[in-house]
Amino acid sequence: MRLDASRVPTNFVPNLPAARFIFLTVLLIFCALAGLGSGGVLIPLPDLLTGKATYLQEIVFLEIRSPRVFLAGFVGASLALAGTVLQGLFRNPLADPGLIGVSSGAAVGAIAMIVLGASLSIPAWLQPYTMPLAAITGAIGVTLLLYSFANYFGRFSIVTILLVGIAMNAIAAVIIGLLQYISDDAQLRTLVFWLMGSFGRAQWATSLPAVFVMVVASIYLIGQIRNLDYLQLGEAEAYFLGVDVPRAKRNMILWSAAAVGAGVALTGIIGFVGLVVPHLARLLLGSSHQVTLVGSALIGATLMILADLVARTVMIPEEIPVSLVTNAIGAPFFLWLIARASRV
Amino acid sequence: MSLEMRNISYQIRGKKLVSEVNITVSSGELVGLVGPNGAGKSTALKLMSGELKPSFGDVSLEGTSLGSISPAELSLSRSVMAQSTNVVFDFSVEEIIKMGWVQGRLVSPELLPGAMNQVINECGVNLLLNRTFNSLSGGEQQRVQFARNLLQLWRPDSKRCMPRYLLLDEPTASLDLAHELLLLNLLKSAAQLNIGVLIVMHDLNLAARFLDKVVLMSQSRIVDIGPPAMVLTANQLSEVYRTKVIVEQNKKLDRLVIHT
Amino acid sequence: MRYPLTALLLFLPCQLFANSCHHPAVDPSRVAVAGGSVTEMIYFLGEEHRLIAVDRTSNYPKEARLLPQVGYVRALSTEGMLSLEPTLIMGEDDMGPPEVVAQLERTGVEMVRIPESFTPQGVIDKLRCVAKVLAVDSDRVAVAEAKLAASLQQLEAISVSKPKILPTAAVILVFSEGAPVAAGVNTAGDGLIRMAGMQNALSAIDGWKPLSAESLIEADPEYLILTDRAVAAAGGLDKVYENPAIRLTTAGRKKQLLQMDGMALLGFGPRTLDAAAKISTLVHK
């Protein structure tokens, strides 16, 4: 017996919004060029190519502006990608890279270095790497701790991970508070500025290794398309469809931590991007991770480059922390998202 | 060619949910798990699907213990329709069904559109395709999930390929009469395509009508296994359900009718 | 430069140190300053026409606040600085972040770090250093030094006389959540106290630290020197006297609190000598 199933011909060509991807890519390129072409020092891009640029213009472009735009793009992409992965993994639209403790771990490492590092004697060649290394040690440390605790408490369930993450963030806050307390005035100021996030410290020597880590982590995370889609049906269903769920969870968390940690180590904490960009990607491209992972990366990179551009040009010759810009854009956008969702 | 559960016990916090249970599902067979609430039917199904690990005993697929088969391999041989979870993000019905396609290694992707067409038409979900999964009613969602399960087991040469198994936990819970019958008939057709079916059912009449083998469970144990006529007797059912049950052979419909 | 690739080879990070006071700057016509006391010195020497921008700590004299702003001394912006087209950037050791300083040095803009030492001679040296870098006429330098001579003499007299028992003092910079942030050793505050012929009651502490009420009471300074900012934050001198941490010290009981502008007290610019002299007059009556 069959119900009267009208034989409507159905179209199964994957509904990849290709045109929108092209638009996003072009937008990214355009914003990157805008970022490279704008700044305190006037540098007409064609002059660089024809060799008419002055020494100052060349060095500003190659050593100051380029590493900055480069880093901003990759950090934006990594934060957005990690945010998308974590929202998919936790099946929660409010998930954010901060949940797994990476950012606060990096903050603990960096601030410890600021406050306690004065007593260490560090060779000159290592100097520019001390802060990023300290930060990334903190980031990895906290993430591994989180992973171990969650595992130890059994079942490595999403709720356990969330709760342990909250606990880790609280502990990190206590440590940071203590360090702030024992810091002197100079250290306190440096520390506060570090926390606010900035791309002003970007240089090739530290950006290239960090971006390398981010790229490797991103490649892994983008490869998780199927696992993430299957997980949306539930963990049991994902298992039934062939996903090794515990392994997938562990790897996604650790690689997200790597992607975020490498960036935070250099820039300090930049908020909202990991939370808001995945929603934007879903809005424009759909919910399947087939499109949202790459889409988030593109949108995140574009947004960060623009945010950095605003941060360094809106109050010239001063520079405002880029986190202020991302929060200023992110918060109202988030409200709009909520309004939109509740109207449906 | 079977999915077999041997001497399985499962306990949690000292309480045994399943005790010394032996169930075999062979390809081509429709096996049902029936019994009162709390008998251990769902738990038995979860042990059979690999979702739970037994405390004692072993589940094996074609002779190989489940524990030594990777999730990816397992997904090629069995599909499970369990209690549906909440899908947080907006996926279209088409995307949900498409997630069932795990056999990319075995079957050429060119066949996917045709396979999708087939299961969609069989399940009668054509008109739901472009809707968001979350906007569907409970029954509609179950039908979509079932289509996904069928897609997972779809093969171009069903009769000649390896046997597959379909495990369902109360799949008709939210379905109306017509769709309930549609689903059970589809299961019967599936059995003919070299698929073994294990289904947890609550409706004894449908059980009597459609199942090849009935596993009657009560209080974590198996009371009886066999063809419906043999297992679904008034005595046995009255004892297990603790209420007077009447079983008769209805001449006009030519089938067993069970009522209280 | 015609060879951009050579610039690319400068991938290696460098932490060059800027030159100090030995020779005049190559081109001191457009000067950006990150450091309040250096700005003060420049005005003191009458060279303020060279200034094109200052940082947030440059509040004195009032005219300095009208200049374009480069931001906070520890959070400078490379391109922001460069957009002003300075020919010379001057500051002290607290210019930062280090990466930005390194980038500015690499662009070839001349950067000079004025060394600082918390003694009367340190102030004179700073004056001479700034004068040297800006190639100020030696006559003008002499005039400036003369303005400081009176205070300098007074302070030298005190340090020579060395009374057996020095009165104790503590310097409070701000109140941080109710706790006074006070000067231990190796701070400008410590230098100020010693310059004025006193002893630092908090010599057991290193750097600027927030103190508990008990610690301050136990240190029991005879005199307390506060910045205007600290007094304003507390809500006025009366409120400060009511603060339990302060009330129970000798300084609090004898009402021996002194209040002055923070940069004047601690910048070790021209006003610091005068401040120290004034304090020592009050104390060594």
Whether residue C29 sits in one domain with residue C126: yes
Alpha-carbon gap: C75 to the closest alpha carbon of chain A (Å): 7
Whether residue C187 sits in one domain with residue C119: no
Quick check: is C214 in a domain? yes
Q: What is the mean pLDDT of residues B211-235?
A: 93
Taking the model in full, what pTM does it have? 0.84
**Subunits with 3+ C-beta pairs closer than 8 A to B:** A
Exposed/middle/buried for residue B104 (C-beta within 10 Å: 0-12, 13-18, 19+):
exposed
Q: Of the candidates C7, C99, C107, which has its C-beta nearest A201's C-beta?
A: C99
Q: What is the mean pLDDT of residues B138-158?
A: 92
Quick check: is C159 in a domain? no
Quick check: is C163 in a domain? no
Domains and CATH numbers, chain A: 20-33+53-339 (1.10.3470.10)
- The reply to whether ipTM tops 0.95 is no
B134 touches chain A (CB under 8 A): no
Cβ B33 vs Cβ B204: under 8 Å: no
Q: How many Cα atoms occupy the beta-carbon half-sphere of B244 within 13 Å? A: 0
Which of left, alpha, beta for C186 (phi over 0: left; psi -120 to 50: alpha)? left
Quick check: is C153 in a domain? no
Quick check: is C278 in a domain? yes
Alpha-carbon gap: C261 to the closest alpha carbon of chain A (Å): 18
Q: Of the candidates C2, C100, C173, which has its C-beta nearest A51's C-beta?
A: C2
**Subunits with 3+ C-beta pairs closer than 8 A to A:** B, C
Whether residue C212 sits in one domain with residue C119: no
Does residue B49 carry a pLDDT above 80?
Answer: yes
Residues of A in contact with C53 (CB under 8 A): 317
Listed as ranges, residues in chain C with pLDDT below 70 are 1-20, 162, 285
Exposed/middle/buried for residue A200 (C-beta within 10 Å: 0-12, 13-18, 19+):
buried
Residues of B in contact with A234 (CB under 8 A): 84-85
Whether residue C183 sits in one domain with residue C101: no
Number of domains in chain C: 2
Cβ B33 vs Cβ B45: under 8 Å: yes
Residues of C in contact with A56 (CB under 8 A): 82, 107-108
Give pLDDT tens digits for B15-24: 999 999 999 9
Query: What pLDDT is stored for residue A5 in this prediction?
Result: 37
B89 touches chain A (CB under 8 A): yes
pLDDT digits (tens), chain A, 344 positions: 333 333 333 333 345 578 899 999 999 999 999 999 998 888 888 887 888 888 888 888 888 899 999 999 999 999 999 999 999 998 888 888 888 888 889 899 989 988 888 777 777 777 778 888 888 888 888 888 888 887 787 666 778 888 888 888 999 999 999 998 788 777 888 888 888 888 988 889 889 999 999 999 999 999 999 999 999 999 999 999 999 998 999 899 889 988 998 998 889 889 889 999 999 999 889 899 989 999 999 999 999 999 999 999 998 888 888 999 999 988 898 888 878 777 75
Residues of B in contact with A285 (CB under 8 A): none
Q: Of the candidates A63, A184, A190, which has its C-beta nearest C106's C-beta?
A: A63
DSSP letter for A162, please.
H
Say if the Cβ atoms of C99 and A124 lie within 8 Å. no
Say if the Cβ atoms of A288 and B71 lie within 8 Å. no
Quick check: is C148 in a domain? no
A125 touches chain B (CB under 8 A): no
Whether residue C203 sits in one domain with residue C117: no
Say if the Cβ atoms of B99 and A243 lie within 8 Å. no
Say if the Cβ atoms of C53 and A317 lie within 8 Å. yes
Range of the domain at C181: 168-283
Residues of A in contact with B150 (CB under 8 A): none
Whether residue C114 sits in one domain with residue C29: yes
Name, in order, each residue with C-beta under 8 angstroms of A323's C-beta and a sequence gap of 6 or more: A196, A197, A268, A269, A270, A271
Q: List the one residue out of A78, A76, A79, A82 whose CA is nearest residue A35.
A: A76
Whether residue C117 sits in one domain with residue C56: yes
A337 touches chain B (CB under 8 A): no
A174 touches chain C (CB under 8 A): no
Domains and CATH numbers, chain B: 2-88+161-259 (3.40.50.300)
Q: List the one residue out of B22, B30, B80, B28 whose CA is nearest residue B50.
A: B80
Of C119, C136, C153, the last residue of a domain is C136
CATH of residue C79: 3.40.50.1980
Name, in order, each residue with C-beta under 8 angstroms of C38's C-beta and a sequence gap of 6 or more: C90, C91, C92, C114, C126, C130, C269
Q: What is the mean pLDDT of chain A?
A: 86
Strands (E), chain C: 31-34, 51-54, 88-91, 110-113, 168-176, 179-183, 199-200, 208-210, 223-227, 257-260
Whether residue C131 sits in one domain with residue C61: yes
Distances (CA, A) of C148 to A118, C127, C162: 35, 10, 22
Helix (H) or strand (E) holding A250: helix A245-267
Quick check: is C224 in a domain? yes
User: Residue C141's Cα: distance from chain center in Å?
Assistant: 20
Cβ A98 vs Cβ A274: under 8 Å: yes
β-sheet bridge partners, residue C206: C185
Place of tokens 């469970």: B217
Whether residue C252 sits in one domain with residue C184: yes
Quick check: is C150 in a domain? no
> Three-state SS string across A89-112, please?
HCCCCCCCHHHHCHHHHHHHHHHH
Query: What pLDDT is stored for residue B113 in this prediction?
Result: 93
Say if the Cβ atoms of A92 and B88 lie within 8 Å. yes
